[in-house]
Amino acid sequence: MEELLKVNHVTMKFGGLKAINELDMSVSKGEIHGLLGPNGSGKTTCFNVISGVYQPTEGNVFLEGKQINGNERYAINELGIARTFQHISLFSTMSVLENVIVGQHCRTKSGLVSAILRTKKERQEEQKMVERAYELLDFVNLTHRAGELACNLPYGEQRLLEIVRGLASAPKLMMLDEASAGMNSTEKKDLIQIIRAISQQGITVLMIEHDMKLAMSLSDEITVLDHGSKIAEGPPADIQKNQQVIEAYLGKGGVARAK
């Protein structure tokens, strides 16, 4: 399959700590790729490097063969990468609809002058953005919440709103950082359908996930980190029986006890 994202020999140091250590990872176009690993193994740092929150200490990140590290976050979003955050990061005092409209910002064409003068072109574009925002809200069954403040939504719906805000930028790659965290089992079932539907739209998904069942059932490919290094990669069936992965999660003592 054609490669969409390439993480090439990336190291990310914080002082003396190597949060990521010479990581190579490849995500193919169209796949759902799980990024797993125990707490503190470097998953979120990896997301932060890919999305431009951090510049890697060493190595490079490529999207469709083009180097993207060195760019600002907004530029990386414009190039086609959207993400959600482990700790929900919405514009909490804006409405649900406004949050999705803001997400489309990097795809708007009208410049500052037309925005101030509110030209016909600008009004038409605004109308299109509202229509598209409603379509996206409908996609995650949040249309009825459009006028509410984002901060008033229940936790699970805030997570969905973060996803559609990301989708609003029409990404090639959607990165989900623990999208199912704090969701109940019904919400998780809905989330699984939503992630599959995102993938069916041709958007590649890279997701950090602590719910093993969810990660194993959704992912086409999985990369596992431990202490900042890649310890395994492959399809879920291989990962589930990989001894190094089992030890990373359970510890050697835990493996012995489980036997």
Ligand X SMILES: Nc1ncnc2c1ncn2[C@@H]1O[C@H](COP(=O)(O)OP(=O)(O)OP(=O)(O)O)[C@@H](O)[C@H]1O
User: Residues 17-28, buried b or exposed e (16+ Cβ, 10 A)?
Assistant: ebbbbebebbbe
48 vs 169 by CB, closer to ligand X: 48
Cα gap 245→23, rounded to integer Å: 16
Q: Does 19 bind ligand X (CB under 6 A)?
A: yes
Nearest CB to ligand X, comparing residues 88 and 153: 88
Give buried/exposed letters for 58-86 (b at 16+ CB in 10 A, else e). Answer: ebebbbeeeebbebeeeebbebbbbbbbe
Both structure tokens of 96: 């649900």
Of 143, 205, 150, nearest to 180 (Cα)? 205
Residues of this chain, 57-116, that bind ligand X according to CB under 6 A = 86
User: Is the sign of the CA dihedral 207, 186, 200, 87 positive or negative?
Assistant: negative
Which of the stretches 39-47, 94-102, 148-156, 187-195 binds ligand X when contact is defined by CB under 6 A? 39-47
- Least Å distance between CB 39 and ligand X? 4
- How near is the Cβ of 209 to ligand X at its closest, in Å? 10
> Taking CB under 6 A as the rule, does residue 14 contact ligand X?
yes
The span from the CA of 69 to the CA of 3, in Å, is 17
Among 10, 33, 42, 137, binds ligand X (CB under 6 A): 42
Q: Is 182 in the site for ligand X (CB under 6 A)?
A: no
- Of 27, 41, 205, 231, the residue at the interface with ligand X (CB under 6 A) is 41
Decide: is 232 part of the binding site for ligand X (CB under 6 A).
no
Enumerate binding residues for ligand X (CB under 6 A): 14, 17, 19, 37, 39-45, 86
